[in-house]
């Protein structure tokens, strides 16, 4: 039976791109009832076995094992998350960036930070962005600065996507659709006007869909979202999602150190000596408290 990749899910249908080189386009499929009985739901990014039906459509019969699974956005087998944050309109929000990074680390994906709208910056903002790039590169992340308007950084982003199913994520209005349009001429995804009063854009992406680039990459253009919660993450897992904490946490005096108040905490020592950025540690403390508060509420 043929195999393929689910590239879109919409209104109960799964659109499967066949592996067979001689087949163009996608096959519109329904899922078998067995999935519902087992509590399974096919996701965009799933590799599947399907059966063609007489009317030119098909039935998804089996889901092949997943390497990764995201709950929000619902995507399977993504290996790279491109976190898009604009340097302006809306302003760069490092607390939200760190929150996204925590979720991406917890999901087991590699992160690429992409700072958009470089064309809007003045000289003072250039310096601020340069410091941000340096901070996150020292932590261990790759950071690219782009401008869809001027075409800056498009090829470098595209090179990093090759061979991956990537999730594009970030606040609404930061230029996800503009960047994809710039990388793939003729795509014409709907872009949104920015509300200067609210500092954010309208959500323009209505469903998850994989967009195929010409270098073997698939990009999940996902619904924009401006906040994340920590309901699927345990408070004891938080520190491991700050990748610069991990090698130091093993040297803390107490096993299971929260890095908040315990004596002999190597993480706090590194913050005091400048080895860990103060902003990253402050966000860790904020997230820790937020998770504690949520746990009490639920």
Ligand-binding site membership of 195 (annotated): no
Query: Going by C-beta distance under 8 Å and a sequence separation of 6 or more, which residues neighbour residue 155?
Result: none
Ligand-binding site membership of 203 (annotated): no
Contacts 24+ apart (CB under 8 A), 280-286: 280/98, 280/135, 280/139, 280/242, 280/244, 283/94, 283/95, 283/98, 283/99, 284/98, 284/238, 284/239, 284/242, 284/245, 284/259, 285/260, 286/95
Ligand-binding site membership of 172 (annotated): yes
Ligand-binding site membership of 119 (annotated): yes
Ligand-binding site membership of 257 (annotated): yes
Ligand-binding site membership of 241 (annotated): no
Ligand-binding site membership of 39 (annotated): no
Ligand-binding site membership of 226 (annotated): no
Q: How far is residue 136 from each of residues 114, 126, 195, 283, measured CA to CA in Å?
A: 11, 16, 29, 14
Ligand-binding site membership of 207 (annotated): no
What is d(CA 294, CA 222) in angstroms, rounded to the nearest whole number?
Answer: 26
C-alpha angle 266-272-273 in degrees, rounded to nearest 5: 85
Ligand-binding site membership of 259 (annotated): yes
Ligand-binding site membership of 252 (annotated): yes
Ligand-binding site membership of 116 (annotated): yes
Q: How far is residue 154 from each of residues 141, 209, 288, measured CA to CA in Å?
A: 18, 21, 36
What is d(CA 235, CA 258) in angstroms, rounded to the nearest whole number?
Answer: 9
Ligand-binding site membership of 177 (annotated): yes
Ligand-binding site membership of 178 (annotated): yes
Ligand-binding site membership of 117 (annotated): yes
b or e along 176-209 (b: 16 or more beta carbons within 10 Å of the residue's beta carbon)?
bbbbbbbbbeeeebebbebeeeeebbeebbeebb
Residue 187 tokens read as: 């795509």
What is d(CA 50, CA 29) in angstroms, rounded to the nearest whole number?
Answer: 8
Q: Which residues are annotated as a binding site for Zn(2+)?
A: 252, 257, 259, 265
Q: Which residues are annotated as a binding site for GTP?
A: 116-119, 170-178
Q: Which residues are annotated as a binding site?
A: 116-119, 170-178, 252, 257, 259, 265
């Amino acid at each position: 039976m043929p195999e393929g990749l689910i590239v879109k899910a919409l209104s109960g249908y799964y659109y499967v791109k066949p592996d067979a080189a001689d087949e163009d386009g996608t096959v519109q499929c329904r899922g078998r009832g067995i999935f519902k009985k087992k509590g399974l739901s096919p996701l965009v990014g799933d590799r599947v076995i399907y059966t063609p039906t007489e009317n030119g459509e098909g039935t998804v019969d089996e889901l092949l094992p997943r390497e990764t699974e995201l709950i929000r956005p619902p995507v399977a087998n993504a290996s790279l998350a491109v976190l898009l944050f604009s340097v302006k309109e809306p302003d760069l929000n490092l607390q939200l960036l760190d929150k996204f990074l925590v979720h991406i680390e917890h999901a087991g994906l590699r992160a690429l930070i992409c700072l958009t709208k470089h064309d809007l910056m003045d000289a003072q903002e250039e310096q601020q962005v340069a410091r941000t790039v340096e901070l996150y590169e020292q932590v261990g992340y790759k950071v690219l600065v782009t401008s869809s308007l001027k075409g800056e950084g498009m090829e470098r982003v595209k090179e990093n996507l090759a061979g991956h199913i990537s999730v594009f994520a970030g606040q609404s209005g930061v230029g996800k659709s503009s960047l994809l349009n710039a990388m793939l001429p003729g795509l014409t995804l709907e872009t949104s006007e920015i509300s200067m009063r609210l500092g954010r854009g309208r959500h323009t992406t209505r469903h998850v869909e994989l967009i195929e680039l010409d270098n073997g990459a698939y990009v999940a253009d996902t619904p924009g979202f401006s906040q994340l919660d920590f309901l699927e993450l345990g408070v004891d897992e938080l520190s491991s999602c700050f990748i610069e904490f991990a090698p130091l946490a093993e040297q803390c005096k107490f096993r299971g150190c929260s890095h908040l108040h315990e004596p002999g905490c190597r993480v706090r020592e590194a913050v005091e000596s400048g080895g860990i950025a103060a902003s990253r540690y402050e966000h860790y403390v904020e997230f820790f408290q937020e998770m504690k508060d949520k746990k009490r509420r639920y």
